Structure 1
Amino acid sequence: MNIKRIGSVAAIAIAGAVVLSSCAANEDAGNGGNSSSPAASSGVDYSSLSGTLTGSGSSAQQTAEATWAAGFQGQASGVTVNYSPDGSGAGRENFISGAADFAGSDAALSEDELGGTFKGCAADSKAIDIPVYISPIAIAYKVDGVSDLTLDAKSIAGIFSGKIKKWNDSEIASLNDGVKLPDADITVVHRSDDSGTTQNFSEYLSENAGDAWGKEPSQTFPFQVGDAAAKTSGVASAMQGASNAITYIDDSGAGDLDKAKLMVGDKATEISAEGAAKVVADSDVASGREDNDLAIQIDRKDTADGAWPLVLVSYAIACQEYKDSAKADLVKAFLGYVVSADAQKAAATEAKSAALSSDLADKAAAAVKTIK
């Protein structure tokens, strides 16, 4: 990753909180094969820790959070980690209000949010964004008789804005020579909640689709079209019951849905975690934030071979300094584990995400160590 700073940037299909007890965490499968190396490398005696951590936020992170909590609790048996996949916006609100000890968010804190106060943080302390999860966003579909589909930014924008209404529309057909597209209405499924996935989806279209999208990036879906569902799990469930439908969804939640290829430059590119990771590695850290804040300015116009610019970077949001030092110790230990190589590898296996690059992981680990 390029370390220079540039301009500021503004899970599976199940519902409910991920609540993992220390006894469940001892299962080998949940531990993801992690060794004791994360604790050893961080200098933290996990066995001495006790208490409960409450996290809230990104539903895209849900599978990864379950994996991390199990692995961490396998080493810190006195700690219970509860994570509720309420959506990125709700997670940030819960963290700001002090209802959650940390947030998971597919969008970094906004300038307005950073300008406010954080109830769980010490006076005059701000929150920081620490990247923990990199994942491609899939354009997932369920169309009668179609198992091979290619779309570009403009056709995606046309579909999700409601301007393209039929699957055999000429704009889609021109990208899919030889594919028999049905003369059927398109059913659009989108997020109903304040969603970091929507933020990343709209950022990609805003930068690549021009007037075909015509909206500023937002965590709220901007058009009155199609069917709306809350959280990654809700979107996945809605798609299972729909016909001739299409959605945008974190790849971890796409299940057995078909996934469109994306025109990247002049190439029809298949979705991959490696392509998502490449785009993040080619991107820069945003400027104008706290020294240990690692919000990423994603290069949405990356056209390198294999790149997947429709990517989300999801963050753990924590206080730089907590009012409660005991809580700070738990957050610091847990997030130190989350950014470790073992934990990242385990999440990549379970959630189809991309592990942090060694460069970004080192930066994230250094940021975690500053939490107090």
Structure 2
Amino acid sequence: MTRNVLSRRVFAGAAALAVAALVLAGCGDSGDDSDTPGAGSSSGAAGSDYSKLTGELKASGASFPNAFYQKSLDEFEKVAPDLAITYNSTGSGTGKKEFGAGLTDFAGSDSLVKDGDGPKAGEFLYIPTVAAPITVSYNLPGVADLKLSGEVLVKIFQRDIKTWDDAAIKADNPTATLPAKPIVVAHRSDGSGTTNNFTKYLAKVGGAAWKLGAGDTVAWPADTQGGDKNTGVAQIIKQSEGAIGYVDLSDATASNLVFASIKNKDGKFVKASLAGATAALAGATVKDDLTYDPLDAAGAETYPITAPTYILAKTKYDAAKGKNVKGFLKWLLTDGQKLAEGVNFAKLPDTLQTKALAQVEKIQAA
């Protein structure tokens, strides 16, 4: 069938229409799970026949990995033309709630599920997919290579530092000419895994000095500006001279933003890059549920604000839908990984990829 491309790209602004679309029941062929495609290439690997998948899957969630998921959906359509999958980039907070309410078949989230977030413990699995840097992007003409330590970021984002020529910023940038210009802080206005990971980083490096807490939402100071999704924050930065904000690498690159080099745990100033994200992944400890924390990881080449992202999948589906979910996730974790770098995401390390594929096998389809 022909996939409805527009529905994949719809955003949360048209809330009523989005919810109406999400409540449509997914359809699929019947039969046992023996036809579920196995891991590997869809173009010839044993057990991989994605063309047999048919029906619909609906998902929503994190905007952080949206570029990767949309590219993946475009490519997956070529090997599974009769399975229509829509991913609505609503932000992690909304995605978790819609998934928990049964409005979607799976969700994207950059943050972990807490009580009341949506799905109940024991009824879903974390499937890691890719990771990427969260850039600290800024708009300061004449300053091309800004350097910022974690301690200075803490002061900027909770408004202890309000002008670009502050002594603490000068200490990180002794040779730069910094203007006496007000700092405009931009942040996410929606519930966001990007916010969760960025504020977790600030809490790690700031300790007691960071007073705003960490989560999908925090109580930002009143004189800051909020934007919807990563693209909204990018727009504020682009339009406001003197602005600074946090944006995933893919959206920052697409918006032609300039981003700062951030001081890592080893004392090196490192600019956001896939190499820096890959170095952070290598040093992360993976828990039994496959969640992991690459923030402020050690290593001279590590970019310190590297965030993971996950698909939240049910532990149990009916036979048809389960076959579709497992088929897509297996493809995403194998052939789909080849697409990551092209849209500014770091693919999973081999060991984590193997664990993620084993996690998919835990999904029951009956």
Short-chain TM bin:
0.7 to 0.9
Q: Shift of residue 282 of structure 1?
A: 1.3
Corresponding residue number in structure 2 for 1:9: none
| Distance (Å, rounded) in 2 between the aligned partners of 1:109 and 1:100 | 16
Corresponding residue number in structure 2 for 1:195: 192
| SS of corresponding position for 1:129 | strand
| SS of corresponding position for 1:286 | coil
Q: Shift of residue 331 of structure 1?
A: 0.8
| Distance (Å, rounded) in 2 between the aligned partners of 1:56 and 1:114 | 13
Q: Which amino acid aligns with 1:243?
A: E
1:295 partnered with 2:291: yes
Q: Which amino acid aligns with 2:194?
A: T
Mapping for residues 104-123 of structure 1, pairs under 5 Å: 104-110=108-114, 113=117, 116=120
| Distance (Å, rounded) in 1 between the aligned partners of 2:45 and 2:136 | 39
Mapping for residues 1-372 of structure 1, pairs under 5 Å: 16-17=10-11, 37-38=41-42, 40-41=44-45, 43-110=47-114, 113=117, 116=120, 126-224=123-221, 225-255=223-253, 256-264=256-264, 265-287=266-288, 293-296=289-292, 298-322=293-317, 324-340=318-334, 342-350=335-343, 352-372=344-364
| Distance (Å, rounded) in 1 between the aligned partners of 2:296 and 2:71 | 32
Q: Shift of residue 39 of structure 1?
A: 6.4
Q: Is the 8 A contact 1:149 1:261 kept in 2?
A: yes
Structure 1, gaps ≥5 residues long: 1-13, 20-35, 118-124, 288-292
Q: Shift of residue 113 of structure 1?
A: 5.0
Q: Is the 8 A contact 1:15 1:233 kept in 2?
A: no
| SS of corresponding position for 2:340 | helix
Alignment RMSD (CA, Å):
2.1
Q: Is the 8 A contact 1:47 1:76 kept in 2?
A: yes
| Distance (Å, rounded) in 2 between the aligned partners of 1:71 and 1:130 | 20
| Distance (Å, rounded) in 2 between the aligned partners of 1:311 and 1:42 | 35
Q: Shift of residue 162 of structure 1?
A: 0.8
Cα deviation per residue 1:163-204 (whole Å; 9 max; x = unaligned)? 100000000000001100010000010001110001100111
Q: Shift of residue 286 of structure 1?
A: 2.7
| Distance (Å, rounded) in 2 between the aligned partners of 1:199 and 1:43 | 39
Q: Is the 8 A contact 2:148 2:172 kept in 1?
A: yes
Q: Which amino acid aligns with 1:257?
A: L
| SS of corresponding position for 2:128 | strand
Q: Which amino acid aligns with 1:360?
A: L
Q: Which amino acid aligns with 1:258?
A: V
| SS of corresponding position for 2:347 | coil
Corresponding residue number in structure 2 for 1:8: none
C-alpha distance 219-39 of structure 1, shift in aligned 2 (>3 A): farther
Q: Shift of residue 71 of structure 1?
A: 1.4
C-alpha distance 41-127 of structure 1, shift in aligned 2 (>3 A): farther
Cα deviation per residue 1:221-242 (whole Å; 9 max; x = unaligned)? 3322411011111112222211
Corresponding residue number in structure 2 for 1:26: none
Q: Is the 8 A contact 1:55 1:101 kept in 2?
A: yes
Taking structure 1 as the reference length, what is the TM-score of the superposition?
0.83
Q: Which runs of 4+ in 1 moved over 6 A?
A: none
Give the number of aligned pairs.
Answer: 327
| Distance (Å, rounded) in 1 between the aligned partners of 2:115 and 2:274 | 29
| SS of corresponding position for 1:68 | helix
Q: Which amino acid aligns with 1:62?
A: N
Ranked by relative contact order (alpha carbons within 8 Å, sequence separation 6 or more), the top structure is: 1
